[in-house]
Structure 1
Amino acid sequence: MNGAIAVVGIGADGWDGLPERSRRALRTAEVLVGGPRQLDLLPPAECPGERIAWPSPLRPAVPGLLAAHEGRAVAVLASGDPMFHGIGRTLAETIGAERLHVLPHPSSVSYACARLGWPLEDVETVTLVGRPLASLAAALHDRRRLLVLSADGATPAEVAGLLRAKGYGETRMRVLEQLGSRDERIVEATAATWPERPGDPLNIVALDCVRSPDVPRLGAAPGLPDEAYEHDGQLTKRYVRAATLAALAPAPGELLWDVGGGSGSIGIEWMRTHRTCRAIAVEKAPERAARIDRNAAALGVPALRVVTGPAPEALAGLPAPDAVFIGGGLTAPGLLDACWQALPVGGRLVANTVTLESEALLADRYRRLGGELVRLAVAQAVPVGGFTGWRQAMPVTQWSVTKGSEA
């Protein structure tokens, strides 16, 4: 790996915890790059190289900083495993994985599972480093074990506050501080009794989730209860929503355009299917766009992007989607064509309507482009005098199609 940038993982135990191979890379480095805390862990006599702390913001500075030291032996310090929520990913994405020689150290997650006796493969990890607190909400399920990567010493109290607000106050919390060092310790309480004072900034939070029986259950599959959403009636209802997500068929890493976002339910539940799924909701009404933001945060996907404006004009300049859902505005001139043209080969389009005018439009596209045209009808049991009868909701016509190479 001559000429490669060494990316060296280091733990809270510092120099003493490093294997000889990592020490050798740091001893021979002419330039040592890292956060101030990591750089301070290196003994100057052993590591005489020039020390440079990462600037902020970090990502835009990476290419220029490394280019300035081209031809010199460079070592980058990282906390724990550089490729697990660490600087290794940023480096690989900005300068190329082929330029890196990664020397990992056990991650805080590995240490935490070792201390707790939790099988690593059964534990979900959520990072709050540079991410909003609300992103934890999507991972909350009764009896689920979670590890939360903290941003600082205030994170555990913030996590406890979110758990209380979501009806998970009886969740057992253990905060593991300074893992691997001589100062390692574990602090334990429930979310309901967690103290508000900040702790050690180097910590990870372990959660044994317990949901209050009176809190509505939000499952992992599409079709959340309608009551989970704030809405003004502009909401794709639960059973139609489940069928719509099935037709859209989200896969990890894919991007959805939710056109005519309404309350944001389709985009939100698309993103909840996998942590790497992305969505852009396009909504022309500002008050509804603000509501989508609130719903996304409440349901654990605050990264959902909301574009306020009428379609198709608001679609200009958006990144190409893997799938498009049209829940409103089908008769807007050029909307269907703009969505279809934006899709790559293999992309999916799903459109729902309850009006005859839009239904005729979908029937015409079905005739020309194929796909599936279905009518979804849902009836609910309601009291009728002293008996029970069915109340029929408005039927929904749905067209779904996958774009072929001949389109």
Structure 2
Amino acid sequence: MTTPWLTLVGIGDDGSLPAAGRTALEAAEVVYGGARHLDLAGDLKAETRVWPSPFSKVYEDLRILNGRKTVILASGDPQWFGIGSSLTQRFSREELTVLPSPSAFQLAAARMGWAVQNTDCLSVHGRPLETLRAALYPGARILVLTSNASAPKLISGLLAEEGYGPSIMTILEHLGGPNERRVESTAEAFSADIADLHTLAIEARLAPGTTVRSRVPGLPDDAFVHDGKMTKREIRAVTLAALQPHPGAVLWDIGAGCGSIGIEWLRAADRTSAIGLEPHKDRRAMAQQNALALGVPHFKVVDASAPDGLSGLETPDAIFIGGGLTAEGVVPLCHAALEPGGRLVANAVTLESEQVLLAAWQEFGGELTRHAIQRASPVGGLTGWRPLMPVTQWSLIKT
């Protein structure tokens, strides 16, 4: 059995450590951490090393230390948006011991009087601020880890842009330390100077007249920048229901267009990922613009089309074919790429595409449905129904 030699210890802003963490530091031969962490830990007998540059080199350095008692210092709970997840991917549980302190989220929730289980906790540290857009809804309580002192001002602008200018922003600096400070303001009036080390608490309040963007699939068509060729709202909702997004699932969005299907997939469940294949430059740009505007900047849109562009992609949990359906071999290749339980959905509006779906249904089974949507609109001084193009949909759960 492997003897643990690597210990990851969470440290508070006041230098507090779990009791076992102090014991690990006293026994350590080497201690890694940021300069601030090493200062907080006080006098150490071990050799101390500040994070290398580039940071990724630390994993190579740690491998060289294998067998020597080594401690890594990190802020709070390193398993919560910290280095812990990266270490556990590279070192076994037999090698690595994790000793957390209270996280910034726990301390912030305690200061705010919020129940953590009813609070959305996210990080924009080294991540796009636009991630916040998908987390906004009236009454939301959000705790945010940020990168630096400039982030709250940028976030206040984002909130105002989204119609959440009346939201209350509370900046909690140096939580748990001697320099702890609290600054509070509405987003639309925010102008304070803030310390780099802080946690941001947001109580989301909607400005009058602002439309709520639900994470339930079926956003209005005008929520997207598009060139007219997109999966319309009603069909999009039906399509996402058939694709069945769930946390951690991967989608292939073939013929992504303006990205409406991939974006709604990412908004519908946490930790999902989506790869959009779109050969047209203008549509890729629209998809990326929409992904930022709707809070899913991690939507990956590539310059490719099926079937050639499918090679080497991450194994999907679901596949949507919205374009390129008539290309030879696309449907069989997509079916083969799915594991049992995977979902395959394809939409057609032309007779040629319908023929492909009919053949696929006959070969692989599943469900074949036709959706006809009509929307009310003015007819002279009266109102009448205007039909959208009917959409034939084939959906399958692979057995």
Shorter-chain TM-score: which interval? over 0.9
Partner of 1:6: 7
Partner of 2:123: 127
Report the number of matched residues.
Answer: 398
Q: How far apart are 1:372 and its partner, in Å?
A: 0.5
- Report the Cα distance in structure 2 between the residues aligned to 1:235 and 1:56, rounded to whole angstroms: 45
Partner of 1:320: 315
1:7-406 superposed matches below 5 A: 7-14=8-15, 17-44=16-43, 47-58=44-55, 60-195=56-191, 197=193, 199-404=194-399
- Report the Cα distance in structure 1 between the residues aligned to 2:276 and 2:18, rounded to whole angstroms: 49
The CA deviation string for residues 223-254 of structure 1, in whole angstroms up to 9 with x for no partner, is: 01111100000111111000000000011111
- Report the Cα distance in structure 1 between the residues aligned to 2:300 and 2:369, rounded to whole angstroms: 30
SS in 2 for 1:388: strand
Aligned in 2, Cα 1:251/1:57: closer, same or farther, shift over 3 Å? farther
SS in 2 for 1:125: strand
Root-mean-square deviation (Å): 1.4
- Report the Cα distance in structure 1 between the residues aligned to 2:244 and 2:361, rounded to whole angstroms: 19
Q: Aligned partner of 2:206: which letter? A: R
Q: Which runs of 5+ in 2 are unaligned?
A: none
After superposing the two structures, state which structure 1 stretch, 272-281 or 376-385, moved more.
376-385
- Report the Cα distance in structure 2 between the residues aligned to 1:180 and 1:192, rounded to whole angstroms: 28
Q: Aligned partner of 1:245: which letter? A: L
Aligned in 2, Cα 1:61/1:111: closer, same or farther, shift over 3 Å? same
Confirm or deny: 8 A CA contact 2:9 2:17 kept in the other structure. no
- Report the Cα distance in structure 2 between the residues aligned to 1:196 and 1:287, rounded to whole angstroms: 40
**Aligned residues: percent identity?**
48
For normalisation by structure 1, the TM-score amounts to: 0.95
Q: How far apart are 1:309 and its partner, in Å?
A: 2.3
Confirm or deny: 8 A CA contact 2:253 2:276 kept in the other structure. yes
Confirm or deny: 8 A CA contact 2:3 2:95 kept in the other structure. no
Q: Which runs of 5+ in 1 are unaligned?
A: none
- Report the Cα distance in structure 2 between the residues aligned to 1:340 and 1:57, rounded to whole angstroms: 41
- Report the Cα distance in structure 2 between the residues aligned to 1:160 and 1:104, rounded to whole angstroms: 31
For normalisation by structure 2, the TM-score amounts to: 0.96
- Report the Cα distance in structure 1 between the residues aligned to 2:32 and 2:351, rounded to whole angstroms: 64
Q: How far apart are 1:391 and its partner, in Å?
A: 1.3
Q: How far apart are 1:20 and its partner, in Å?
A: 2.9
After superposing the two structures, state which structure 1 stretch, 234-243 or 32-41, moved more.
32-41
- Report the Cα distance in structure 1 between the residues aligned to 2:154 and 2:177, rounded to whole angstroms: 25
Q: How far apart are 1:186 and its partner, in Å?
A: 0.4
The CA deviation string for residues 134-160 of structure 1, in whole angstroms up to 9 with x for no partner, is: 111110111111011111111111111
After superposing the two structures, state which structure 1 stretch, 251-260 or 374-383, moved more.
374-383
SS in 2 for 1:243: helix
- Report the Cα distance in structure 1 between the residues aligned to 2:248 and 2:54, rounded to whole angstroms: 25
- Report the Cα distance in structure 2 between the residues aligned to 1:230 and 1:307, rounded to whole angstroms: 18
Q: Aligned partner of 1:194: which letter? A: F
The CA deviation string for residues 168-195 of structure 1, in whole angstroms up to 9 with x for no partner, is: 1111100000000111010011111111
The CA deviation string for residues 363-395 of structure 1, in whole angstroms up to 9 with x for no partner, is: 111111110000011111122344322111111
Confirm or deny: 8 A CA contact 1:63 1:95 kept in the other structure. no
Confirm or deny: 8 A CA contact 1:91 1:97 kept in the other structure. no
- Report the Cα distance in structure 1 between the residues aligned to 2:239 and 2:19, rounded to whole angstroms: 55
- Report the Cα distance in structure 1 between the residues aligned to 2:4 and 2:236, rounded to whole angstroms: 53
SS in 2 for 1:97: coil
